[in-house]
Amino acid sequence: MGGLGPNIGSEEWERAQRKKEASLKYAEEVRTNAAANPLPARKKEKPKEKTAREKALEFAKNVPKP
C-alpha cells in the first residue's frame, strides 16, 4: 500500500527541499572544481630491489649442473 504522498507546502517539506537544493548545488561546485583542478598523476614506484634470498635463488637457477 502506498502513502498519501508528500505534504507539499508544509514548512518541513520546504526545509527538506532547501536542504536537497543546497546539497545539489554543493555537489555541482565540487564537480566543477574537480574538473578545473585535476589531481596530479601518481608517480610510478621504483622497482623493488631484490633481497639476498631472491638473488641466491636466481644464482642457484643459473649454476651449471654436472
Per-block average pLDDT, block size 10, for the chain (66 residues)?
81 94 97 88 85 94 86
Q: Note whether residue 56 is domain-resident.
A: no
Number of domains in the chain: 1
What is the pLDDT at residue 39?
Answer: 82
Cell, residue 51:
633481497
Cα 34 from Cα 14, distance rounded (Å): 30
Q: Which domain holds residue 24?
A: 9-38
Question: Is the pTM here over 0.75, yes or no?
Answer: no
Q: Note whether residue 19 is domain-resident.
A: yes
What is the pLDDT at residue 2?
Answer: 75
